[in-house]
Structure 1
Amino acid sequence: MPYSPPLIGPHESGGLYELSQALDALGRAGLGVAPADVVEVEAFWQGGQWGSCAGGFVLRLQDARRAYLDVWIEESEDGKIPPKVDIEFAPLAAGQARPCFPSAADPIGGWSTEVAPLNAFLQEARQA
């Protein structure tokens, strides 16, 4: 089946595009965590420019652990081939609200707790 680009692009997604790509990559990564293990998104950040975008998600998992899922997405110039998606997944220590970044300026655009659409997406995906 030929690749068809997503209907939602990174610049108008409110994090949905980045989360969808990150979960898809997580499912293929063999890290011992599956997309179905994600119960909710607690907070996220996203940023991008033409041709690439990135995001990070603080997640609560089914086993009550919390983790951080980071994604970097590079789109093809013509949009006819799937994007290149890289992820990093790391558990958060007990009591750790968010991951540590190398500078106070990170993450790009700051954290958002406007996660209702992301959690609705997770809920719909679990029911599918």
Structure 2
Amino acid sequence: MSHYPDHLRYTKDHEWVEKTGGKRVRVGVTDFAQKQLGDIVFVDVPTVGRDVEAGEPFGTLESVKSVSELYSPLSGRVVTVNPDLEADPENINTDPYGDGWIVEIDLAGAGTLDGLLDAKQYADHIKEESE
């Protein structure tokens, strides 16, 4: 069974969001997602300064099984990209909620996490999706 930290918010596309201060959030993929993908060998992420739109693709994860799109959970501007993922993309597999984070985004507009799932809602979503 996968673990979903309570302090994070989640999307139905299996990304997590952590508020890091002000209107800035950190984004990654969930433990469930990385297990489904298998061993991640390459991460293609947006450049710093790129605007992203909620629900739109903003990068890809390549695993030994497939290539999967990453979807932006919220709208805003990419301000930081995890520098370790180029050399160590497997950090997403080994520590999806820590060293495996992908980008940080400064949120557009009000900058709220409204509309994202809490840990229980995400776990329920996974259960429904698996049935």
Q: TM-score, normalised by structure 1?
A: 0.34
Higher fraction of helix: 1
Q: Flag the structure with larger Rg.
A: 1
Q: TM-score, normalised by structure 2?
A: 0.34
- More relative contact order, 1 or 2 (CA 8 Å, 6+ apart): 2
